[in-house]
Chain A
Amino acid sequence: TEKKESYVQPALVKHELLDI
């Protein structure tokens, strides 16, 4: 009866060059 965690698609987001 172990409850599992909800799943979301793994995502990698690339940000601008630390250009900032």
Chain B
Amino acid sequence: MADPQQATPPSIASEHAVDRTMLARSILRPSPDVQGTSMEGETVLLDLSTGRYYTLNRLGSVIWEHCTGHSTISDIHAVLCDRFEVASERALDDLVALVNQLVQEGLLQQEGR
């Protein structure tokens, strides 16, 4: 029997990909139909438009908490580097990868500042 849980695939359609030249101007906000709840450091996201739900681990939750429509990707990257033991380049790669997944799944919207 197949595992009902599945990690989202790493391949990202180019139309959803974050433009790395726009990191300081790309504002992130949750999609209108998405509800999020944090529990013990992790976050459960429910997309009311599809009935599908997702979970974010501890680092994903920190990133999600900053996607309030006020922070750019660069702002969130600075938070990660300041708060966690991680190389700047790795933090940025992981952040962009997660944002791409969230945008592709329709959970997150990005707009220019």
**A residues bordering B, Cβ < 8 Å?**
4-18
* Distance between A17 CB and nearest chain B CB, rounded to angstroms: 5
Residues of A within 8 A of B105 (CB): 12, 14
Q: In the bound complex, do residue A11 and residue B60 qualify as a contact, i.e. CB atoms below 8 Å apart?
A: yes
Number of interface residues of B (CB under 8 A): 32
Q: In the bound complex, do residue B98 and residue A10 qualify as a contact, i.e. CB atoms below 8 Å apart?
A: yes
In the complex, B109 has a CB within 8 A of chain A: no
CB closest chain-A residue, reference B43? A12
**B residues bordering A, Cβ < 8 Å?**
4-8, 46, 50-60, 62-63, 80, 83-86, 91, 94-95, 97-98, 101-102, 105
Q: How many A-B residue pairs have CB under 8 A?
A: 76
Q: Given A12-B101, A12-B102, A18-B52: A6 and B60 within 8 A (CB)? A: no
B56 partner, pick from A4, A6, A10, A17, beta carbons under 8 A: A10
A15 partner, pick from B55, B58, B98, beta carbons under 8 A: B55
CB closest chain-B residue, reference A8? B59
Q: In the bound complex, do residue A12 and residue B54 qualify as a contact, i.e. CB atoms below 8 Å apart?
A: yes
Residues of B within 8 A of A4 (CB): 83-85
A6 CA to B98 CA in the complex, in Å?
18
Q: In the bound complex, do residue A18 and residue B60 qualify as a contact, i.e. CB atoms below 8 Å apart?
A: no
A11 CA to B97 CA in the complex, in Å?
9
